[in-house]
Chains A and B, each alone.
Chain A
Amino acid sequence: MKVLVPVKRVVDFNVKVRVKADQSGVNLANVKMSMNPFDEIAVEAAVKLKESGKASEIVIVSIGPSQAQDTIRTALAMGGDRGILVKADAPIEPLAVAKLLAAICGEEKPGLVLCGKQAIDSDANQTGQMLAALLGWGQATFAHSLELGDGTAKVAREIDGGLQTVAVKLPAVVTTDLRLNQPRYASLPNIMKAKKKPIAEKTPAELGVDISPRFKVLKVAEPKTRAAGVKVKTVSELVDKLVEAGVLK
């Protein structure tokens, strides 16, 4: 079975982004970029499926500027077989991303799409679900564990109350949560090998998808900041302060 894994190039999770002075966005100049951490988990899950003989081929897809090639190479070094880059320089909204991925699924016909539950830049948490709906497939979001059976996937999902297990018919979209696995580091030989793996390039126009934004971003601002408060010296003083603040009665 072919597994398709979409990956997004995002600001590294350790970077604390700064809002631009003109409030047009966040400052991305000279900021470290990495693969979206949830997508790394998806790549790892796909590689594990291949290692256990359940997946035959892993196709890595990224939608973004030419630098997204690096993100694809990282995924190929982890164990992906080949890549597809859909070139788009401006940021794309999740619905358009889902449409592009749906078009690629139409060509590639994967048995499973594994993707991160959300990207840590836009924090939208939509793309996997939208892709599943557009394809008329089932979905299992926020995967905590994944077991492939005959024509179905059994997925334990991280939900607000604990864990919920669903069985979803294949093909399906599974989105990953934090505890699904610990992504591997690519070894140097695998990084070298990944350089030779093929990456095809496509454009949104070739895929017949209109990616023009629907939303208008009026501004991007700093969140309300909290000033650091006071340090207290003892537990007793802490309790005094909390009583004064009216939160302990």
Chain B
Amino acid sequence: MSALVIAEHDNKTLNEATARTVTAAAAISAPVHVLVAGENCAAVADAAAKIAGVEKVLLADNPLYAKQLAETMETLILSIAAPYDAILAPATTSGKNYLPRVAAKLDVPQISEIIAVIAPDTFERPIFAGNAVETLQVPAGKKIITVRTTAFKPAASGGGAAVEKIAAAADPGLSSFVGENLSKSERPELTSAKIVISGGRGLGSAENFHLLDKIADRLGAAVGASRAAVDAGYVPNDFQVGQTGKAVAPELYLAIGISGAIQHLAGMKDSRVIAAINKDPEAPIFQVADFGLVEDLFKAIPELNDELEKRGLGQKA
């Protein structure tokens, strides 16, 4: 009995989603092993070895895995899958990309985006954009699972697992990496930030979206957006919070000029505190907001910034 967690990382840093997935894995089966697949990623393996509850880290360090392409990840995971009774990946765009291939090849159904482990064979997951939660019992045999990481606390650090190098698997030669255009930001990542400040179509333009920057920088917050704002081209796709974007659950979610379509609420309603500023008093966002302010955002944003400054709030030391 053991579980395998596939690590999320960028070859340099281990993403916190991994430690959260370890928490879910440990509730299903123990001990937990972590697979780090990447290129020149020994530091990531060392970080994974420090997660409490991890017994062993498997390191596949090979150019084949530099970008974790789905087809190469599939053959690698299959090459080591046999002993594990559960294989889990965070429900990131990376985990969602490769894990269903593994499930299909093993002829095992996949359980997507679990939000709770009720029993080692019983899980909760949101359906219909989070308007319902289904409880699924899965048959005996291997379990293939992606994890909505905001629903699980990260496993503590302090472990000292061994790192074992493993060989690369066959290259299926089906796809290749061409290039990438990644958003560069000094701010924390959306899915792990303690404070998220999100803007919607109410901001009106890409230029106006930058009005959020000052407050975000002051609070050390990540900046997110509604689908409407992304579709309108104000910000890139990776800002999108919602059913088909990212699920976030920060301490504070500050929604500015966001009406609150159900698809957006699906991605943020597990935040601890939600505050909303919108000039429309009927906006659905107010139905989930702990604190709502009906106000024109172009008046409210500078006021908020001044107020935070006046009180010395959020100033990073």
Q: Which residue in B94, B96, B132 is a CB contact (below 8 Å) of A125?
A: B96
A249 neighbours in B (Cβ, 8 Å): 313-314
Q: Write out, one digit per residue, whether chain B residues 122-142 have a CB within 8 A of any chain A CB (1) or not (0).
A: 100011111111111111000
CB-based contact B100/A130 at 8 Å = yes
B182 at the interface (CB under 8 A from A): yes
CB-based contact A220/B134 at 8 Å = yes
B259 at the interface (CB under 8 A from A): no
CB-based contact A133/B313 at 8 Å = no
B269 at the interface (CB under 8 A from A): yes
Q: Which residue in A26, A162, A168, A242 is a CB contact (below 8 Å) of B128?
A: A26
Q: How far is the CB of B156 from chain A (nearest CB, A)?
A: 22
CB-based contact A228/B93 at 8 Å = no
Of B138, B227, B238, B275, most buried by chain A (CB within 10 Å of CB) is B275
Q: How far is the CB of A123 from chain B (nearest CB, A)?
A: 6
User: Do most interface residues of chain A lie in helix, strand or loop, or is the interface mixed?
Assistant: mixed
On chain B, the number of residues with a Cβ less than 8 Å from chain A's Cβ atoms is 93
Given known A118-B244, A159-B93, contact A95–B175 (CB-CB < 8 A)? no
A196 at the interface (CB under 8 A from B): no
Given known A130-B104, A216-B137, A241-B291, contact A226–B269 (CB-CB < 8 A)? yes
CB-based contact B292/A232 at 8 Å = yes
Q: Name B251-307 residues within 8 Å CB distance of A.
A: 251-252, 262-263, 269, 272-275, 277, 286-295, 300, 303-304, 307
Number of A-B contacts (CB under 8 A): 272
B92 neighbours in A (Cβ, 8 Å): 160
Q: Which residue in B70, B100, B113, B246 is a CB contact (below 8 Å) of A123?
A: B113
B160 neighbours in A (Cβ, 8 Å): none
CB-based contact B195/A235 at 8 Å = no
Q: Which residue in A126, A161, A167, A236 is a CB contact (below 8 Å) of B182?
A: A161
Q: Which of A49-57, A82-90, A139-147 contacts B (4 or more CB under 8 A)?
A: A139-147
The contact sample of 10 A-B pairs, CB cut-off 8 A, is: A26-B132, A130-B103, A133-B100, A216-B136, A228-B288, A229-B291, A238-B291, A238-B304, A239-B311, A247-B273
Interface residues of A (CB under 8 A from B): 11, 13, 16-17, 19, 26, 38, 93-95, 98, 117-118, 120-127, 129-134, 136-142, 144, 154, 157-169, 172, 177-179, 214-223, 226, 228-239, 241-243, 245, 247-249
